[in-house]
Chain A
């Protein structure tokens, strides 16, 4: 490892612009003639649109255009789609209800976009938006998925009876039922995974610019995957052919999944730009983000876990209802199926698993992937059940887990996944040691003396990252392949540009991708530029989500580097009159091994471009492209331990220590990896203690601002104790597993296991707010 190579704790190259105010986010973009858009959104959760009158608004000061869904449809703009086909167990395809970018005859959730108003200033657009008159006929709304599938519930889409989208299953029902029937003990739980709002700090934004002279569109958008955005807007939404549409995702202020999807706003801004003849910028208010960003989680599950007399798990049966909101968002269908039920084996040997999942429409914001996406739901269900089982069986939670750990690899689970490598005992041991688990009883006794209730809880998670082998996901219904691309351009002076289809919105790619190049050629990372987020610059790519940039994006880079290296060696061998096999590249020099013959790196690059003296038949230049398609998922895993102290008078929970022991395989930059874990844990602790999206019975979102939705703040959290162990991933060239989501996946059950331990109760709802905890304490007393 060099000082800037793989494994080095290198400070980030991209930081300078962010700490000096030089970041360039969509809202910072200014295009000559640009106007500002405000969307008129439905105030009702479920209503028919009887009439839209825009006359008054059109006459307001500064107004350039007031456009409706009818005009949008007349111009042939298509409906939004879900890109992953799931079939119900009876063979019927999922029931995808029509989602027009601007609602035409019906609105289905509070926040549904109905009209776009474009004006000289945002203030004027806002004033005019208030003057748009829409007559609605209100319909009964339903927000709870378990109620939405009852007979007589309001029907949200004509395409779906009883609001059921699909009724899907995985695993062996018969074998699982038999295991439960013959079990020595069965632990049964109802598990509720609360609805969350991702809340990237940068609100979503879009700037659409139609260039009439070129008949060409440019879209600046807060996207995690601009290439997919261009593809989908072109192929499905009829905005423009791909060659006439450039999508740019510049600096993006966090995503956490919520910026994967192509939303109505960017489609409408592009269309409105052509319609009005001016560039149109829209930036969400925070309340709009709460209303209209895709939400996460919202599962209700029944679980039965069967054990034999030796406390070995013999079967797991799960019945889940997943709330997908008012419309099927882009990847909504794969989250509660292939990203969830396929992880239900956890870190354990479970011979029989069966999961049934029903997905349901409700009059709420669409639900899609949010940091972890399905895997937090699986982990929460399993790890709460394991904890409960340990208490029921009277054994220690660590020993019950240890007894059931998978210890030999590869391991085929009954639910598709083939785990390639791992050492679950290692992370459990590391976490217990770091947490001084053995000393907990003393700390609890000490807390009791101070009138506090102390509890400890653990969670052993596994997740699947590096999504994903394209043929495999294609066979499971994905509409796209999930490979990644990279291009390496060595300039004539030896500096390097890497063009990647991955997209950084906080992950530090400009540093880690450069570290991988430094490792290979010894070029200083300051001489390596990482280019991403612009469809005019970068070849097609699949973007960043599912902790895939390391395992998939960097693997593509490695493949491209292999090609560059091979060509550079051929050139060097020719120039040094040596055998190609004897050439090595070290510390920025190209050498003949075992001799003092060498060339500086830049001379090889220069030779490639002068082309005065290349091997016979070789093309000039030193630039290579590679596409990498993964051969398997990767399987990061780890153990988290949370220790809490609860004030019984107020119900306030303090996290007194939080330990994370993760196995991410090989690591490019430990500093960045630790940062990912810290942030993930904060979001997981947020879910467990603070966050929850609440709709009232009429479908009004009660938590639509930071005054109402409790974001984790600095004084809600401790400093975290994080460490890593390493079983390299055998499936990709760098041995990387991925680290972006683990924190959010592993932490919620650790927190809730700690709280239920402290209180001596069987379960408590997330978020375990002070009032919830206080009520639980009161209920136990009385």
Chain B
């Protein structure tokens, strides 16, 4: 057993877990954050993507004890209170989800992708960078549309804020 201390969605949490406990299982079973999902055994599907210290990480590829000391954001911590994150809002507006199982991982990946591309995104880039997330329902069509729309909305939003600051 090992002690695990994390900051998750802005709150400091700690617990004790078997050494073999994966981060995803620690989040789901110890912290009750069941929005992060397990869809495969081989780190292929991406349903478990969370942000670890600001980077998108498949939480099934990391032991909980390895993550100790990190700051983690899960799907439950993405919205700003009642206000949806622009990526969440875009997934809803553009029907970027059906059964919802891959959705948390998709949204966390997309948020990271948009942050890494401040110059903006095109369809080919979005499709290439979604390589690590599998969806069986949507054929990706509306996921791609939602990510492109969110990227544009966030660029406009940040320009607006820059203007306000100026």
Residues of A within 8 A of B (CB): 11-12, 14-25, 27-28, 30, 121, 123, 199-203, 251-254, 256, 283, 285-287, 505-508, 671-672, 674-675, 678-683, 705-707, 711-715, 717, 719-720, 743
Partner of A19, one of B28, B45, B103, B140: B103
The reply on B41 being an interface residue by CB < 8 A is yes
Are B35 and A201 interface neighbours, CB within 8 A?
A: no
Flag if B91 contacts A714 (CB, 8 Å).
no
CA A674 – CA B138 in complex, angstroms?
A: 9
Check B139 against A682 for contact (C-beta < 8 Å). Answer: yes
* Assembly CA distance A306 to B117 (angstroms): 58
B109 CB to nearest A CB, Å: 10
Q: CB within 8 Å of A: which residues of B?
A: 18, 20, 28, 32-42, 44-45, 47, 74-76, 78-79, 84, 88, 91-93, 95, 97-104, 107, 123, 126-128, 130-131, 133-145
**7 pairs of A and B residues whose beta carbons are closest in the complex:** A21-B35, A253-B101, A18-B100, A682-B139, A506-B99, A706-B44, A506-B98
Smallest CB separation, B44 vs chain A (Å): 4
Q: How far is the CA of A123 from the CA of B26 in the complex (A)?
A: 13
- Do residues B35 and A20 form an inter-chain contact, with CB atoms below 8 A? yes
Contacting residues, chain B, for A743 (C-beta < 8 A)? 139
Q: Which listed residue (A22, A254, A285) contacts B137, Cβ 8 A?
A: A254
A23 to B35, Cβ gap below 8 A?
A: yes
Q: Across the interface, do A675 and B101 meet the contact criterion of CB distance under 8 Å? A: no
A-B contact pairs, 23 of them (CB 8 A): A15-B97, A21-B36, A25-B34, A200-B101, A200-B136, A201-B99, A201-B137, A202-B39, A202-B101, A203-B38, A506-B99, A675-B95, A678-B140, A679-B137, A679-B138, A681-B139, A705-B40, A705-B41, A706-B44, A713-B131, A714-B128, A714-B130, A715-B131
* Chain A residues, CB < 8 A from B99: 200-202, 251-254, 505-506
Chain B residues, CB < 8 A from A202: 37, 39, 99, 101
- A sample of 9 more A-B contacts (CB under 8 A), given A202-B39, A683-B139, is A11-B95, A28-B34, A253-B99, A254-B137, A283-B38, A506-B99, A674-B95, A679-B98, A705-B40
A643 to B143, CA, bound (A): 23
Within 8 Å CB of B40, what residues of A?
286, 705-706
> Within the assembled complex, what's the spacing in Å between the Cα atoms of A11 and B142?
13
| A705 cross-chain contacts in B, Cβ below 8 A | 40-42, 44
Closest chain B residue, CB of each to CB of A677 = B139
Q: Tell me which residues across on chain B come within 8 A of A711, comparing CB atoms.
A: 44, 134, 136
Q: Are B44 and A707 in contact (CB under 8 A)?
A: yes
A714-B127 in contact (CB<8A):
yes
Tell whether, in the assembled complex, residue A508 and residue B98 are in contact, meaning their CB atoms are under 8 Å apart: yes
Question: Are B138 and A285 touching (Cβ within 8 A)?
Answer: no
Question: A138 vs B122: C-alpha distance in the bound complex, in angstroms?
Answer: 55
Contact across chains for A201 and B134 when beta carbons are under 8 A apart: yes
Given contacts A252-B99, A507-B98, A675-B98, contact A21 B104 (CB under 8 A): yes
Contact A706 B134 (CB under 8 A): yes
Give the docked Cα–Cα distance between A674 and B142 (Å). 9
User: A201 near B126 (CB under 8 angstroms)?
Assistant: no
Task: Assess whether A21 is in contact with B34, with CB atoms less than 8 Å apart.
Answer: yes
Judge whether B91 and A19 touch: CB under 8 Å.
Answer: yes
The closest CB in chain B to the CB of A719 belongs to B141
Residues A719 and B144 in contact in the complex (CB < 8 Å), given A675-B138, A707-B44, A711-B136: yes
State in angstroms the CA–CA spacing of A544 and B131 once bound together.
Answer: 30
B82 shortest CB reach to chain A, Å:
10
Q: Beyond A11-B92, A675-B138, A719-B144, is A201–B101 a contact (Cβ under 8 Å)?
A: yes
Closest to B35 in A: A21
Question: In the complex, which residue of chain B has the Cβ closest to the Cβ of A251?
Answer: B100
**With A18-B97, A201-B47 given, is the CB distance from A713 to B130 under 8 Å?**
yes
Report the nearest A residue to B134, measured CB to CB: A711
Interface centre among A17, A508, A715, A717 (most CB of B within 10 A): A715
Which residue from B88, B141, B142 sits with its C-beta under 8 Å from A20?
B88
* Chain B hits for A671, CB < 8 A: 95
For B47, give the chain A residue with the smallest CB separation: A201
Query: Does the CB pair A506–B137 fall under 8 Å?
Result: yes
A21 contacts B95, C-beta separation under 8 Å: no
Interface centre among B37, B74, B99 (most CB of A within 10 A): B99
| Contacting pair B102 A201 (CB below 8 A) | yes
A672 to B, closest residue via Cβ? B95
Q: Which residues of A contact B41 (CB under 8 A)?
A: 285-287, 705
Q: How far is the CA of A202 from the CA of B34 in the complex (A)?
A: 13
> Which A residues are CB-close (under 8 A) to B103?
18-19, 23
A715 to B131, CA, bound (A): 7
Check if B42 sits within 8 Å of A706, measured CB to CB.
yes
With A200-B136, A253-B101 as known contacts, state yes or no: A123 contacts B39, CB within 8 Å.
Answer: no
Q: Are A720 and B139 in contact (CB under 8 A)?
A: yes
**A12 touching B79, Cβ below 8 Å:** no
Shortest beta-carbon distance, B143 to chain A, in Å? Answer: 7
**A residues less than 8 Å from B34 (CB atoms):** 21, 24-25, 27-28
Shortest A432–chain B CB gap in Å is: 21
Contact B139 A679 (CB under 8 A): yes
Q: Give chain A nearest CB distance to B26 CB in angstroms.
A: 13
Q: Which of B78, B107, B136 contacts A254 (CB 8 A)?
A: B136
CA distance A672 to B75 in the complex (A): 24
* CB contact under 8 A between A12 and B20, given known A202-B37, A714-B127: no
Of A19, A705, A713, A717, chain B has the most CB atoms within 10 Å of the CB of A19
Please name all residues of chain B whose beta carbon is closer than 8 Å to the beta carbon of A24 when the two chains form the complex: 34
Chain B residues within 8 Å of A16, by CB:
92
In the bound assembly, the distance between CA atoms of A446 and B153 in angstroms comes to 37
Asked, given contacts A11-B92, A506-B99, A707-B44, whether A20 binds B75 with beta carbons under 8 Å apart, the answer is yes
State the CA gap A678–B103 with chains docked (Å).
Answer: 16
> A339 → chain B, closest Cβ, in Å?
21
Complex Cα spacing A714 to B137, Å = 12
How far apart sit A428 and B135, CA to CA, in the bound complex (Å)? 30
CB within 8 Å for A25 and B36 given contacts A12-B92, A682-B139, A715-B130: no
Which of B75, B95, B107, B130 meets A12, CB within 8 Å?
A: B95
Interface contact A678-B91, CB-CB below 8 Å:
no
**Neighbouring A residues of B104 by C-beta, 8 Å:** 18-19, 21
Contact of B139 among A201, A286, A678 (CB under 8 A): A678
A568 vs B77: C-alpha distance when bound (angstroms): 45
B32, B35, B92, B130: which contacts A15 (Cβ < 8 A)?
B92
Complex: chain B residue closest to A371, CB-CB? B136
Residues of B within 8 A of A203 (CB): 38-39
Interface contact A678-B138, CB-CB below 8 Å: yes
